[in-house]
Structure 1
Amino acid sequence: MNKLIAIAVATAFAFNVNAQSVQDGEKMINYGRFESAKKTLEPLAAKDPLANYNLGIAELELENNAAARSVFAKYPDDFHNQAGTARVLFQEGKKDEAAKVLLAIIDKAKKKDWEKYKAAADAITYTKGGNANDAIAWYKKVIEINGGDASTYIGLGDAYLKLSSGGGEAMNAYEKAVEKGTNNSLAYSKIGDLWYQAHSYDAALKSYGQAKDADPSNPLPYKSLADAYQRAGKYDMALTNIEKFQELSDKSIDDQITYANLLFLSKKYPEAQAKIQELIGKGVQKTYLYRLIAYSAYETKDYQKAMDNMRTFYSKQDPAKIIADDYIYTGKIMSAMSGVDTVHAKMYSDSADYYFNKVITADTSKDKTELYKSIAEGFKDAKEYNKASIWYGRIVADNPGTAALDYFYWGYYAYLAKDYTTAAKAFDGLKAKYPDEGSGYLWIGNVAAAVDDAAKTGGAVQPYKDWLAFNKNNYEHKQVDLMRAYQYLAYYYYNSSNEKDAMEYVNKILEIEPTNTFANQVKDFYAKPKNAKPATGGKSAGRK
C-alpha cells in the first residue's frame, strides 16, 4: 500500500513539475525569450502535446518556419498543434488554408471546450492574415464559458489592436487582465505601451513601473522604456534601460544590434564599434552593422575606417533601403578625407558635394533646414568653412524667417573662410531681421575690422560704436569682445593722431587688462610725445 502511495505521489509530483515547466515556457514566449523557451520545452515536447505546441511557437517566433511546421506535425490530432500549423500557414501567406484549419477546430468544440476557441483565436491574433473580428468573437466565447483568465483578456486586447479603432477596447481588456491577478506584469507592459502611443508619458512610465514591480524578471518594460527614452533623445537613459533589458532577455541578435545602436546614439562610439565587431566575429551578417561601424568611426575621426566600411555597406545594401543619413555621413566622410589625403583633396571634396546633393534630391520635404544644417556641420568638422557657410546661406535663402543662429553661422563660417563680403551680408541680414540681437552689431564690426586690419580706414568705427551703444540688457558684453572693439578703436584713433579719443579707449582696455602691452605703449607714447610710435602697431596678443 505504501508503495502504491509513493508511486502516486511521485507521478503527481512529476506532473506538477511538467505543468510548471510548460508554464515557464509559455511565460518566456510572452516575454520574448524564445531561445530560453526552446531549451525549457524541448525535453518535454516528446510526451506533452501542449509543450510541443509551445515549442513550435518558439520556433515560429525565431523565424524557423520549417522547424515549426515539423514540430506541430508530431501531434496531428491535437487541436493546439493544429492551431500551430494554421499559424505556419498564415506566415506562408496561405490564409484561406489556415482559416479552414481553425474553423475545423471550432466546429469540433463542445459546449465547454473553451481551449479550442482560445487556441484558434491566438493563431489569428499572433500572426498576419487572419480575421481579427473572428479572434475577438472566439475570445468572448471563452469568457462566456469560463469567465476568462488574464491570458484570454490579454489576447483579446491584442486582437483589438489589430483593428484601426481598437485602442480603447484593448485598454479595457488589459485592465480586466490586471483584475484577474495573473500575468499582471505582461498586462501592465501592454497598458504602458498604449499610454505611450497616446503620448500620455507619465501614465506610461507608471505602468512600466508596475510591470517591473509585478515581475522583476520581465524584460519587456525595460525595452519599452529604452525605446521611449530613445525617441525623446535621452540616450543615456535609453542605454541604461536597454542594458537592463539585455540582462533579463535572451540577448538575441536583434536585441544586441539595438544595444549597439543605442551605444552609438549615446555617443559611446568606441563601445559601439567593439560590440559590432563582436557580432561580426560571431558570424552575424547584417548589412546594417557596416553602416553603424562607418558612422561610429567617423565620429571618432577614423575617417579611413569610416570610408572602408561605408563602401562595404553600399556593396551589400539593397539600394531601395539606403536612407538619407547614409548619404549625409558619406558626404561628411568624404569631406573629412579631403583634409586627411591632401593629394586627392579635390576628388574627395567633389565626392562630398555629390553625396550631399544626392540626399537633397532624394529629400522631398519642403523644409530642408535640418538637412542643410547636418551637411553644413559636416563641412565645419572638416574645417571647410566656406562650404559650411554656403549651406547655412541656403537655409536663409530658402527660409528668410529662419532663426537668428542660422544667420549667425552663415556669417561666422564665411568670416572664418575670410569671405568677408558674404560675412558682411549675413550679419547685415541678422541685424535687419533681429534688431534686438546684439551679435549682429558686434560681428558687423568684427568683419569690418578684419577688412581694415591695419585700422587705417575706420570702417569698423561706427559698427563697433553701434554695438557698444546697444542696450546692454539685451546683450551681455564679454571681455574678449570688448577688448577687440576697444583695441581697434584705440588703434584707429592713434593712427589718426587723435590723442583724446585714442586715450579714451586705451583707458577702457587698461580697466580690463592693466598689463596690456599695446595699451601701455600707446599711453607711454602720449606721455612722451617725442617717442616713436608703438612697435606693436596694435597687434598685441589680445587683438585679433
Structure 2
Amino acid sequence: MKELMKRAWSGGLMLLFFIAAATLAVAQELPVVKQARQQIEIEQTNKAVATLTEAVKANPADASLLYYLGEAQIANGEKEKAEISFQKGLEVNAKEALNLAGKGHLRMLENNVAEAKTLLDQALAQTKSKNPAVLKAVANAYLANDKFTNDALTLLQKAKSINSSDYETFILLGDAYTKLVKGGDAVSAFETAASLDPKGGTPQYKIGVVYQRSKNLTSAEEHFNKAIAADPNYALAYKELGELYYAQKKAPDAVKAYEKYLALTERPEPAKLRFAFFLFMAKDYKRANAIFDELLKRPDVSPTVYKYAAYAAVESGDLEKSEKLFEQYFAKAPQTEIQASDYVYVAKMYQKQTKDSLAIINFKKSLELEKNPEIAATVADAFYKQKKYPEAIDAYKQLRGIKTKLTATELFALGKAYYFNKQFNEADTTFGQLIEAQPAITTGYAWRAKSVANLDPELKQGLAKPYFDKVVEIGEANPDKGKPDLIEAYSYLGYYYDTKGDFAAAKATFEKLKAIDPTNEKSKAYLEALKQAKAQQKKPKPTN
C-alpha cells in the first residue's frame, strides 16, 4: 500500500512537472518565431522566410518550425512552398497538429471549405482542443473566411482561458472582433496585446485601423503614430498615415509618410502608383511623371497608368505627351470605366493649347457622364467668353437645372448674355435676381436699368429711372466703388430730366457727372449747351 501511494505521489509530482513545463512553453514564444512574426508585421516577409528557413535547418526535428515557416511563406505569397513545408512537418512528426492547421489554412485560402474543415477538426481532435498554439493556428485559418469568424472567436477565447497573457492570442482576438464590427472589444484586445509587448507596433497599428474604419481620423492618426513610436520600422503604420493624410488632402504629409513606407517595405512596386497619386495631389508633377514613365514601360501596364500619366502631363504642361497618353488611354480603357474627370482633363489640355472649341466638346462629354455643376459652369463661362451668347444662355440654363440656384457671378454672366443677345426682357428678369442676391451694390441695378432702357429707347416711360435712382443712392455713398455705374446713371438721368422739361434737375445731374468725371464729354456738351441757351433765352438741345 505504501509503495502504491509512493508511486502515485511520484506520478503526481511528474504530472505537476509536465503541467508547469507546458504552462511555461505556452507563456514563452520561441525567439526565432517572435523575430519572424515581427518581420512579417513590418512587411519584411522575405526576411521572415529566411529567418525560419535557417531555424528549420538548425532544428530539423522540430516540426512546429515548419508550420511557422509555412505561415511565413503564405504571407510572402508562396502558397506552393507553404504546402511543402506543412507536409514536411507532418512527415517529421505526424503528431504535430500545427501543420494540419497550416494545411487547413491553405484550403481556406483556396475556398475549399470542406477539406479545410476536415483538416482543422483533425488538428483540434488530435490535441483535444487543449493546445493554445493549435487553437490559435486553427483560429487563424478560420479568420481567412468571414463565415467562420465566430468559430475563430470561440477557439481564441478558449486559448485565452488557458493562457491569459499570450500576445498573439489577443492580436487574433482583436482581428476577430474587428471582422465582427465590434470596435470596442477589438480595441480592448489590442490594448491588452500592447501591454504584453510595449515594443510591438502591431497593436497600436490595428487600433488605428479600427478608428480609421469608424471615420475617427484623429484617433486613428494618434495610434498610427504610437505604432511608429513603439517600432520606428513599422511600415504599415506609415502607409496608413499616408492614406489618412491623402483623404484629408494633406498632400505634403501624405507624401512624407508614404516615402517612409516605401523605404521600409520589401515590396514597394505595388504601392508606386498610389505614391504617384500622392505626388500628383502635392503638385509635384516632376516626380509623379518619373514614376508614371517607369510604370509605362511595364508589359502589363494598365489603362489607369495611362490615364493618370496623361493627367500629370497636362498639369506639368507637357501637352504633346498628354495628347498621346490620352489616345492610348481611350484606346485601352473599357467604355464603362471612362469617367467624367477624364474628359475634363482632355478639355484642360485643349484649353492650354487655346483650342477652346475642342475643350468645350470634351467638357460637354464630361457632363453627359456626370452632371457636375463646376463643369457646367466652366462650359457656360467658356461660351460667354467666346461671345457665343445663345450657347452661353443654353449652358447657364443647363447649369441652373443641375444646381437650381446660380451664384451672383453666374447670374451676372447670364444676364449679360441675354443683354448682348438682345433678349432684354430675360435680361431684366435675370438682373432682378442678381439684385436679390446682391442688393447693396450697384451692378444689378445698373444692368437692369440698361436692359429696360432698351425697351424704352425714347425715355417715354422712364423704365430705367427707378433702377438708376438706386444706383445713385448706393453709388453716392461710396463713389469710388460704383463709379462707372454712377457715371452711366447720371448720364441717363440727366437726359431723362431734360426730356421731361426739368432743366434744373438735368443741370444738377450733369454737374454731378462732371464732378466725378471731369473729362466726360456728355456733361461738358450739355452744360455748354445750357449755358448758350441761357444766353439766348431758349431751351438747350441735348447732345447725343
Normalised to the residue count of structure 1, the TM-score between the two structures is 0.72
Is 2:350 the partner of 1:333? no
Which amino acid is the alignment partner of residue 485 of structure 1?
A: D
Question: 2:41 & 2:193 partners in 1: Cα distance?
Answer: 14
Contact 1:294–1:309 (8 Å) recurs in 2: yes
Q: Which runs of 5+ in 1 are unaligned?
A: 1-17, 361-367, 511-517, 532-536, 539-544
5 Å-filtered alignment, 1:383-394, equals 390-394=394-398
Match of 2:176 in 1: 159
Match of 1:230 in 2: 246
5 Å-filtered alignment, 1:383-422, equals 390-400=394-404, 402=405, 405=407, 408-409=409-410, 411-412=412-413, 415=416
Match of 1:276 in 2: 292
Offset at residue 47 of structure 1 (A): 5.0
Change (3 A) 1:247 1:51: farther
Secondary structure of the residue that 1:267 maps to in structure 2?
coil
Offset at residue 122 of structure 1 (A): 1.3
Among 75, 80, 97, the alignment partner of 2:89 is 75
Match of 2:131 in 1: 113
The root-mean-square deviation of aligned C-alpha atoms, in Å, is: 4.5
Among 502, 511, 514, the alignment partner of 1:503 is 511
Match of 2:538 in 1: none
Over alpha carbons, which structure has the higher Rg?
2
Contact 1:106–1:116 (8 Å) recurs in 2: yes
Count of equivalent residues: 484
Contact 2:411–2:434 (8 Å) recurs in 1: no
5 Å-filtered alignment, 1:267-416, equals 267-281=283-297, 285-320=301-336, 322=337, 326-334=339-347, 336-337=349-350, 340=353, 349-350=360-361, 352-357=363-368, 359-360=369-370, 368=371, 371-377=372-378, 390-400=394-404, 402=405, 405=407, 408-409=409-410, 411-412=412-413, 415=416
Match of 2:196 in 1: 180
Offset at residue 216 of structure 1 (A): 2.0
5 Å-filtered alignment, 1:82-93, equals 82-93=100-111
Question: 1:181 & 1:34 partners in 2: Cα distance?
Answer: 21
Offset at residue 59 of structure 1 (A): 4.6
Contact 2:347–2:363 (8 Å) recurs in 1: yes
Match of 2:39 in 1: 28
Among 150, 154, 164, the alignment partner of 1:147 is 164
Q: Which moved more, 1:306-315 or 1:258-267?
A: 306-315
Question: 1:477 & 1:490 partners in 2: Cα distance?
Answer: 15
Offset at residue 142 of structure 1 (A): 1.2
Is 2:116 the partner of 1:98? yes
Offset at residue 241 of structure 1 (A): 2.8
Question: 2:417 & 2:49 partners in 1: Cα distance?
Answer: 62
Question: 1:468 & 1:86 partners in 2: Cα distance?
Answer: 87
Is 2:224 the partner of 1:208? yes
Offset at residue 376 of structure 1 (A): 3.4
Offset at residue 493 of structure 1 (A): 6.1
Question: 2:194 & 2:136 partners in 1: Cα distance?
Answer: 19
Question: 1:44 & 1:526 partners in 2: Cα distance?
Answer: 106
Question: 2:145 & 2:387 partners in 1: Cα distance?
Answer: 52
Q: Which runs of 5+ in 2 are unaligned?
A: 1-28, 499-505, 532-542
Offset at residue 75 of structure 1 (A): 3.1
Offset at residue 181 of structure 1 (A): 3.5
Contact 1:273–1:293 (8 Å) recurs in 2: yes
Question: 1:191 & 1:153 partners in 2: Cα distance?
Answer: 12
Contact 1:376–1:389 (8 Å) recurs in 2: no
Question: 1:281 & 1:296 partners in 2: Cα distance?
Answer: 17
